Amino acid sequence: MKAAFLDFATLGPGVSTAGLDQLLAVSYHTHSSQAEIRARLQDKEVALLNKAELDRETITGSTGLKFIVLAATGTDNVDLEAAREKGIAVSNIRDYCTAAVVQHVMALILGLTRHIMGCRTPVSGKDWERSEARVLFEYPIRELTGKTLGIVGYGSLGRGVAEAGRCFGMEVLVGERVGLAAEAVRQGRTPLCDLLKQADIISLHCPLTDASRHMIGADELRLMKSDALLINTARGALIDSRALAEALDTGVIAGAGIDVLAEEPPADDEPLLSRDRPNLILTPHIAWTAKESRQRAVDQMVENVADYLNGGRLRRVI
């Protein structure tokens, strides 16, 4: 079967595609514009992609397309309804980057509570040598032990972060699934409004849906403690970034660790990039990018393709 990998560069250097090449005749493209995607899929039966967008027009116009294989868990960049209508199978990958994302979440939390980067400046600037107290107290360092960690989205990533939090002595609250409050009651989960009020640190791990878009806005931020931290390594549009920027600037919350933005690469008017904020750590969607995770992503794509060719439904979304 002929295949096109539409945005292979998004998987970064150093990964092996030998498994894919044994199963498919793959054309690799570093990146693809919308016009290029349509042209490159014209004679292809399989589309391989990570962040490239497959909209309705592209899917309906790709007459030979039979299988869409995502190198990601999220599927919001593919029009699933259009794929379903055309009988095109869609698979994603799962649990491939849990270790990397959990470690990144904890790095963001520790970065905001230990102020490692900020503490380097007075050392290099000789402030430590001039300190009569023999120590510097400019940065309010906090312990995690005894703090409450709120998890919104309790799949593999959420569970992994919860386990890591408990290792640091944190109490864990699991929030209700957005849009499924009745189910949350049955599962004993904490209503979102209560979680926002009680948690010292909130970490988001839920998918982006119509119900979860801007689930954290100005009203929700005002419910949080003034010394609380907000962490997002899931999808940028879960948070109203303009409301978050204002909350950080006015002391509504103490800080945020953000690895994802609503638009990536970000637009010039992205509010979180409008100024340097000492209470914001912003990383360029790298939580998942450990080399080991990226290779597992390709390996799971290989498994999905092999299973599809054998008539199976491994990790099938459609």
Residue among 29, 40, 189, 235 flagged as catalytic: 235
Specify burial of residue 148 (Cβ count, 10 A radius: 0-12, 13-18, 19+): middle
Structural tokens at position 29: 């493209």
Per DSSP, the residues of 100-124 read HHHHHHHHHHHHHHH-HHHHHHHHH
The SS3 of residue 20 is helix
What phi and psi, each to the nearest 5 degrees, are found at residue 17? -110, 20
Which residues in 189-225 are b (16+ Cβ under 10 Å) and which e?
Answer: bbebeebbebbbbbbbbbbbeeebbbbbbeebbebbb
Residue among 38, 242, 285, 316 flagged as catalytic: 285
Closest to 40 in 3D by CA, of 51, 24, 29: 29
Handedness of CA 13, 265, 150, 176 (dihedral sign): negative
104 labelled catalytic: no
Per DSSP, the residues of 131-167 read -TTSS--SS-----TT-EEEEE--SHHHHHHHHHHHH
Residue among 57, 85, 143, 264 flagged as catalytic: 264
The SS3 of residue 316 is strand
285 labelled catalytic: yes
Structural tokens at position 303: 């498994």
* Cβ atoms 142, 113 nearer than 8 A: yes
130 labelled catalytic: no
Q: Supply the DSSP symbol for 232.
A: E
Return d(Cα 286, Cα 101) in angstroms, integer.
9
CB atoms within 10 A of CB 57: 12
Catalytic residue list: 235, 264, 285
